């Protein structure tokens, strides 16, 4: 059976047989849920990409749910949207650790997106990230290994090739969304040549 080819609104052709590819969005809800992340989610869906963005129906707590772990593990690509308050959420940090484990185990593609926070702030845990970790170290004083794991995950993720709202899109959200969607579509049309190597 021949694969059908479609052209998306961005002018890129893609093989619709790759629509089973899944993208997971990791983000701090209070920072970007109603703005950048929801717009990115919509653009990916419109491009024919199955995209997981957690909703208010998921139970919240310190640990991420099995449902969320399955969504991460079932994705070929994770987009980690770093924003000012990302590091203040143990939930987000646990998601990030799981995402990076999937990267190691299965070759999942992981792209950091720096939304009004510079890669160096994330990498070196300065500014609000430093404040967040001061608070986390007090809160998890009996489990500092977990805090160290979160710090290492942030450093690892910040060292990956990704996207910066200010540097890559001159602060224009829609421009950055177009860049990211086109990158995802290029990975999809490549047929997963970078996956599971």
Task: Give the active site residues.
Answer: 95
Is residue 115 helix, strand or coil? coil
SS3 80: strand
Looking at 83-124, which runs of residues are DSSP E strands?
109-114
Tokens of 6: 């479609």
Closest CA to 151 of 96, 69, 106, 82: 96
d(CA 157, CA 82): 10
d(CA 119, CA 96): 15
Closest CA to 154 of 194, 115, 102, 99: 99
């Amino acid at each position: 059976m021949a694969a059908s080819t479609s052209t998306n609104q961005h002018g890129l052709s893609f093989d619709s047989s790759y629509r089973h590819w899944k993208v997971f969005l990791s983000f701090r809800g209070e920072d970007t849920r109603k703005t950048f992340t929801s717009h990115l989610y919509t653009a990916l869906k419109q491009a024919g990409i199955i995209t997981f963005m957690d909703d208010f129906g998921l139970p919240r707590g310190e640990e991420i749910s099995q449902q969320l772990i399955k969504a991460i593990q079932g994705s070929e690509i994770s987009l980690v949207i770093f924003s000012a308050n990302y590091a203040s959420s143990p939930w987000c940090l646990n998601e990030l650790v799981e995402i990076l484990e999937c990267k190691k185990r299965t070759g999942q593609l992981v792209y950091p997106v720096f939304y009004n926070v510079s890669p160096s702030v994330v990498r070196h845990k300065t500014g609000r990230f430093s404040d967040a970790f001061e608070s986390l170290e007090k809160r998890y004083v009996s489990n500092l290994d977990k805090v160290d794991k979160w710090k290492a995950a942030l450093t690892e993720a910040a060292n990956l090739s990704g996207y910066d709202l200010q540097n890559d899109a001159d602060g224009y959200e829609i421009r950055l969304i177009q860049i990211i969607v086109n990158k995802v579509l290029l990975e999809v049309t490549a047929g997963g040549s970078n996956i599971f190597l």
